[in-house]
């Protein structure tokens, strides 16, 4: 026996729809319109992708984000496998410490990189001690790389740990009992089993790196990553059309990568802070 | 269990990564509490810098808290019903709406902020008000709230519960508040914690949307990194970490509880869906 449910469903959605339309859809639409309403029209996208300065910025950002993603994945797989397969006292504290920086905003991460590699940082002190020169890396692309790795590790590590815990140990044991070496098991059993999680968290890591603004802002390095270029175009150059078109290009790249990862891995992908 | 060489190699690697995450935080914390960082700890410990930060920047702290609570309120009023709609509706539009809500996590904050400024930046009363930042924070955190609640709603038999209540004569509002909300409490709590954490730490959008009169804590931090001495920047960072700490502990605690429930056999499938959303 069924009771017919009366539910004012649409009404439940209304507040979010109003918010999304007023503050997301209309503004994003206007952003597209503004980007092509300059004197160049649609050609502005050609400029954005062919002008040496913008192209360099885009390529630098892509290179940095891809590299950060690969290195973070490698770190997360090594530590994630270790942390979920072994039991030792203090393990949960270790995991908490590794994931605590998850919520740090980019500017704080930038400041922490200065603490490590700035003019008065740890590596400068170490350099003074060892060969009388201050070793600094904070204000170069290395500083950006270190910062991006810093904020990427907690996110990716958590996903990898969760994925390893869901893995079927039987497969590995079967492979081992059939005489497969550790390396073979790793390549043929563990990596394929983790692939969906790696693709999903890798895509999130990539998208977060592409859009990261705070770290580059705090480090004020010579490297103009895309978000910095957009910010400079908007505030210093007052070139709103170019800032808009660069944002749209950047947004399209991150959105497409996340979409692609989701269709390949079938997992939830959404970047956090 | 036998501990092999590879065990110790992996352990040292993991400890090294942990040191990398932890050492700069500890350095910054000590720097905020020492008299003179360049002379080191021997110059003595002090709360002078913390006091100075409170004198200079305490308004950023209050604004940050106000924003986080207001964002949470909007997310609860708008986000929880929206999640319910998405869980119940089978129409094609529901999937479109879901994609739409999730859009702000896929687009860099800078682009969203730019779009908001282009459309509403001219409205002086809004542009100079803290509500302008609130709009940004709601857009950015709403997806996390909706997905946290949605994950729980997917894991329970909503229809069965509601039909049971309806057959006893409960109207829609009664069912929503007395059946649905208590059943997705876990999702609401983890969504709320995430909303607060993300809002408190948001910088990318906020930097674009703020005015000199509406500075949040992360904006103030960027300001102090650029213009203040290292001790003050560090003390300010320390205050920020203290603010984040209860939220982080809460998140971990909720996460651990969810995991425990997953392990117990009585809990139905799908509970794991929420896991990805938590971070």
ipTM of the complex: 0.88
Q: Is residue A91 part of a domain?
A: yes
Q: Is residue A46 part of a domain?
A: no
Q: Which long-range contacts (CB under 8 A, 24 or more apart) does A4-13 make?
A: A5/B159, A5/B162, A5/B163, A5/B166, A6/B172, A7/B88, A7/B162, A7/B172, A8/B172, A9/B85, A9/B88, A9/B89, A10/B85, A11/B81, A12/B81, A12/B82, A12/B84, A12/B85, A13/B81, A13/B82, A13/B85, A13/B86, A13/B89, A13/B97
Domain count, chain A: 1
Q: Tell me if chain A has a CB within 8 Å of the CB of B135.
A: yes
- Predicted pLDDT of residue A273: 34
Rounded CA separation B237/B225 (Å) = 10
Mean pLDDT, chain A, whole residue set: 88
Which domain covers residue B166, as residue numbers?
44-277
**Mean pLDDT calculated for residue range A162-184:** 87
Domain count, chain B: 1
- Predicted pLDDT of residue B264: 54
Chain A: give the shortest CA distance to residue B125, in Å: 16
Q: Cβ contacts of residue A67 below 8 Å, gap of 6+?
A: A145
Of A103, A230, A251, nearest to B107 by CB-CB distance is A251
Q: Is the pLDDT of residue A78 over 80?
A: yes
- Predicted pLDDT of residue B191: 95
Minimum mean pLDDT range among A249-258, A260-269, B25-34, B152-161: A260-269
- Predicted pLDDT of residue A3: 55
Rounded CA separation B259/B264 (Å) = 9
Residue-wise over A111-122: b if at least 16 C-beta within 10 A, else e?
bbbbbbbbeebe
Cα angle, residue B239 at apex, residues B233 and B244 outer, rounded to 5°: 125
Chain B contact set for A6 (CB, 8 A): 172
- Matching residue, tokens 């397969």: A85
Residue with the larger pLDDT of the pair A113 and A122: A113
- DSSP string computed for A161-222: HHHHHHS-HHHHHHHHHTT--HHHHIIIIIHHHHHHHHHHHHHHHHHHHHH--HHHHHHT-S
Q: Which residue of B has its CA nearest to A111?
A: B225
Q: Is residue A258 part of a domain?
A: yes
Q: Tell me if chain A has a CB within 8 Å of the CB of B111.
A: yes
Q: Is residue B20 part of a domain?
A: no
Rounded to two decimals, what is the model's pTM? 0.89
**Mean pLDDT calculated for residue range A64-70:** 97
Q: Which residue of A has its CA nearest to B133?
A: A23
User: Tens place of pLDDT for every residue, chain B, 279 residues?
Assistant: 567 888 899 999 999 999 999 999 999 999 999 888 877 777 888 888 999 899 899 999 999 999 999 999 999 999 999 999 999 888 888 888 888 888 888 889 999 999 999 999 999 999 999 999 999 999 999 999 999 999 999 888 888 888 888 888 888 888 889 888 998 999 999 999 999 999 999 999 999 999 999 999 999 999 999 888 889 999 999 999 999 999 988 988 887 777 666 555 443 444 333 333 333
Chain B contact set for A65 (CB, 8 A): none
Are the CB atoms for A204 and A271 separated by under 8 Å?
Answer: yes
- Predicted pLDDT of residue A267: 53
Instruction: Judge: A79–B13 Cβ closer than 8 Å, yes or no.
Output: yes
Chain A contact set for B226 (CB, 8 A): 220
**Mean pLDDT calculated for residue range A17-25:** 93
Q: Is residue B214 part of a domain?
A: yes
Q: How many CB pairs under 8 A join A and B?
A: 264
Rounded CA separation A70/A206 (Å) = 9
- Predicted pLDDT of residue B95: 87
What beta strand segments (E) does A217-256 contain? none
Which domain covers residue A172, as residue numbers?
62-104+149-212+224-265
Chain A contact set for B82 (CB, 8 A): 12-13, 15-16
Q: Tell me if chain A has a CB within 8 Å of the CB of B26.
A: no
Instruction: Judge: B81–A13 Cβ closer than 8 Å, yes or no.
Output: yes
Chain B: give the shortest CA distance to residue A4, in Å: 8
Handedness of CA B178, B183, B185, B191 (dihedral sign): negative
Of A2, A28, A214, nearest to B204 by CB-CB distance is A214
Q: Is residue A246 part of a domain?
A: yes
Residue with the larger pLDDT of the pair A113 and B271: A113
Q: Is the pLDDT of residue A61 over 50?
A: yes
Rounded CA separation B7/A176 (Å) = 17
Q: Which two tokens stand for residue A164?
A: 């390893």
SS3 content of chain A, % helix, strand, coil (to 5): 80, 0, 20
Q: Tell me if chain A has a CB within 8 Å of the CB of B123.
A: no
- Predicted pLDDT of residue B268: 42
A127: confidence class by pLDDT, cuts 50, 70, 90: confident
Q: Could you give the dihedral angle defined by the CA atoms of residues A76, A108, B76 and B151, in that order, rounded to the nearest 10 degrees?
A: 0
Q: Is A121 helix (H, G, I), strand (E, B) or coil?
A: coil
The CATH number given to whatever domain includes residue A232 is: 1.10.3720.10
Chain A contact set for B240 (CB, 8 A): 108
φ and ψ at residue A3, rounded to 5 degrees: -95, 130
Instruction: Judge: B204–A106 Cβ closer than 8 Å, yes or no.
Output: yes
> Could you say which residues from 235 to 254 on chain B have a Cβ atom under 8 Å away from some Cβ of chain A?
237, 240, 244, 247-248, 252
The CATH number given to whatever domain includes residue B97 is: 1.10.3720.10
Q: Which residue of B has its CA nearest to A209?
A: B108
């Amino acid at each position: 026996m069924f009771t017919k449910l009366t539910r004012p469903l649409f009404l439940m959605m209304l507040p979010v729809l109003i918010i999304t339309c007023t503050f997301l859809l209309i503004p994003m639409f206007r952003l597209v319109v503004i980007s092509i309403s300059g004197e160049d029209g649609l050609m502005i996208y050609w400029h954005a992708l062919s002008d040496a300065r913008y192209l360099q910025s885009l390529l630098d950002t892509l290179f940095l984000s891809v590299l950060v993603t690969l290195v973070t994945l490698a770190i997360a797989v090594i530590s994630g496998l270790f942390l979920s397969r072994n039991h030792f006292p203090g393990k949960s504290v270790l995991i908490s410490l590794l994931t605590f920086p998850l919520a740090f905003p980019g500017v704080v991460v930038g400041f922490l990189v200065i603490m490590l590699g700035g003019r008065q940082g740890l590596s400068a002190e170490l350099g003074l001690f060892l060969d009388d020169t201050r070793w600094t890396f904070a204000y170069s692309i290395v500083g950006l790389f270190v910062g991006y790795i810093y904020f990427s590790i907690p996110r990716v590590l958590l996903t990898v740990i969760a994925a390893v815990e869901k893995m079927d140990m039987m497969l590995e044991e079967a492979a081992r009992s059939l005489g497969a070496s550790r390396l073979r098991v790793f390549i043929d059993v563990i990596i394929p089993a983790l692939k969906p999680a790696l693709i999903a968290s890798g895509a999130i890591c990539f998208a977060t790196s592409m859009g990261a603004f705070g770290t580059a802002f705090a480090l004020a390095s010579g490297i103009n990553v895309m978000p910095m270029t957009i910010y400079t175009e908007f505030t210093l150059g007052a070139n709103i059309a170019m800032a808009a078109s660069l944002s749209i290009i950047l947004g399209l790249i991150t959105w497409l990568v996340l979409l692609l990862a989701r269709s390949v891995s079938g997992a939830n992908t959404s970047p956090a802070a | 269990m036998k501990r092999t060489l590879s065990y110790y190699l992996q352990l040292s690697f993991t400890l090294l990564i942990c040191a990398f995450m932890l050492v700069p935080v500890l350095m910054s914390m000590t720097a905020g509490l020492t008299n003179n960082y360049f002379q080191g700890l021997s110059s003595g410990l002090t709360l002078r810098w913390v006091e100075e930060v409170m004198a200079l920047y305490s308004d950023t702290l209050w604004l940050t808290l106000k924003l986080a609570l207001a964002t949470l309120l909007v997310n609860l009023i708008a986000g929880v019903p929206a999640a319910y709609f998405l869980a119940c509706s089978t129409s094609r539009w529901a999937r479109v709406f879901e994609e739409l809500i999730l859009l702000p996590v896929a687009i860099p904050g800078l682009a969203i902020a730019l779009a908001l400024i282009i459309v509403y930046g001219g409205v002086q009363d809004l542009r100079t008000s803290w509500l302008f930042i609130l709009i940004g924070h709601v857009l950015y955190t709403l997806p996390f709230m909706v997905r946290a609640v949605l994950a729980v709603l997917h894991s329970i038999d909503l229809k069965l519960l509601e039909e049971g209540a309806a057959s006893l004569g409960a109207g829609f509002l009664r069912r929503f508040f007395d059946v649905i909300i208590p059943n997705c409490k876990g999702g609401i709590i983890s969504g709320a914690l995430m909303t607060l954490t993300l809002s408190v730490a948001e910088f990318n959008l906020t930097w674009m949307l703020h005015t000199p009169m509406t500075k949040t804590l992360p904006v103030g931090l960027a300001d102090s990194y650029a213009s203040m001495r290292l001790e003050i920047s560090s003390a300010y960072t320390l205050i920020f970490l203290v603010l984040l700490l209860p939220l982080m502990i809460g998140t971990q605690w909720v996460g651990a509880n969810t995991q425990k429930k997953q392990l117990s056999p009585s809990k139905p499938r799908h509970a794991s869906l929420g896991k990805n959303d938590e971070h």
